[in-house]
Amino acid sequence: MSYYPIEATSISELASLIDRPYKSPTNVKIDSVAAPEHALNTSLIFLTSKKKILTASVVLTTENIATAMNIDAVIISQSPRLDFAKLIDQLKFKKKSPSGKIASSSIISQSASVAPSSTIGEYTSIGPNAVISEGVKIGKNTTIDPGAIILEGVEIGDNCTIQSGAVIGSCGFGYERTPEGHWYKIKHLATVKLGNNVHVGANTTIDRGMLVNTVIGDGVKIDNQCQVAHNVSIGDNTIMAGCSGIAGSTQVGKNCMIGGGVIIKDHITLTDGVIITGGSMLANDVTQPGIFSSGMNAISNRKWLRNHRRLLNLDESLRALEDER
């Protein structure tokens, strides 16, 4: 689901919950919250920058953005993301009660914890001490190894392998700083969706999205001890080696290769067919396929210290050269 139903609430009631002013030609009501790209005409969204709105009923944003975009129904906030987080903590969400179905051909360990509302496909096996939470859907011929944890609402396709210690669907690392300097936790309403033929290595974590799902495409292979943050999308047949991390809201294309120990920054996009060599850090969009590297190979400590001292004195050395000219 890309929007999240709530009990119908008027714009005046919403504004009063966070003590913020509002402008609206009528006391319009909303019945869901959503990301801007998935909003209904009865949804509440928030904006921290000018962004095309396909449809929405009420927008929580700054006065400057509201004026520039000529938004009719708006709640004015100096910190839209923080106030949105406070609002969703107070709204009453409508949750469906999923009905589970466990295939008779599935093999489930007696020590596994499987919620009654989960769906387990044919010939899928759930290992000892694994946890399958409420509303989880797992396809056929999938293996959940001992001690793996699949949290609420996660969807896993056919022919997948989730190795021991993996955690899929934990709350994303989302916080917003308050005026007092404290960190306010942002509730994550979305989930994680894994396609077919996906491998998730031991002790790898894949976080659920805030308002949009974290999506792992068909045929993706993720090694041990990797981190995939909230709202990330990984395209089909991409492979990711051990101890790599992808920060929040980054979009990785199809058929990419991510070497061991790679760090990929948040909110960037990688096109299809990108190869990143081990130990690299990627901080910008990649719009063309190819091989990308960063970092420096280890050398003896003595050489490294000498080079580091020279680097620290680089400005002085350059100025001395310029003076000689």
Q: Is 82 helix (H, G, I), strand (E, B) or coil?
A: helix
Find tokens 């609002």 and name the residue: 87
- Interacting residues of 241 by C-beta distance below 8 A, sequence separation 6+: 223, 258, 259, 260, 261, 262, 278
Burial label for 299, CB within 10 Å (0-12, 13-18, 19+), is exposed
**Catalytic pick among 199, 230, 267, 308:** 230
- Interacting residues of 247 by C-beta distance below 8 A, sequence separation 6+: 229, 232, 263, 264, 265, 266, 267
205-207 and 183-185 strand pairing? unpaired
CB atoms within 10 A of CB 245: 17
Q: Is 164 helix (H, G, I), strand (E, B) or coil?
A: coil
Q: Indicate the residue type of 106.
A: S
267 carries an active-site annotation = no
Q: What are the residue numbers of the active site?
A: 230
